[in-house]
Amino acid sequence: MFVAAVSRSGRTQLIDDVVALFEGEGAFVPMRCESGVRLYGKETLACVAVRRRQAATGAAPPTETDDETSEVFTLFDHQHRVEMELVSGMRLEGSLMDSSPSNRSRAVDHLNRAGRFVRLWSAEEHYLVHKAQILQVTEMTWTPEHDG
């Protein structure tokens, strides 16, 4: 994907920029593939995954510290551990997180907010899931091993 080459303090700011690109105006987004640049229609994409941590290549320092990773999970008042089944049959597991008012704290309230895409956090990836591609969402029991 092509996002502005600006200084960011961490991976979460990059994810925010990707979200803005997908939620913004315009029907297409450019992505680099092995064969070159392709333009993808936003409405046809089921989901986009962004690694929450930079891959360890040995050449570049990580862009996100463990403290920053855990901060992402503590910034929100509500966390809903869910499994999403997409129209394609793909299944994603992760957390819907928000800080909505207590009378709007359910998973359904989170999913029914404005916007084409919903954010789903997992330990390794941050997914932007196109709401029109979600077949069903199942809330799961929260357990300690699901933290961060």
Contact assessment for residue 73 and residue 57, using Cβ atoms and an 8 Å cutoff: no
Supply the pTM of this predicted model. 0.70
Contacts with 91 (C-beta within 8 Å, 6 or more apart), sequence order: 83, 84, 85
Contact assessment for residue 126 and residue 120, using Cβ atoms and an 8 Å cutoff: yes
Give the pLDDT of the chain (148 residues) as one tens digit per residue. 666 667 776 666 777 788 888 888 989 988 888 888 999 998 888 998 887 666 555 444 444 444 444 444 446 566 789 999 999 999 999 988 765 556 556 788 888 888 888 889 888 888 999 999 999 999 987 655 544 4
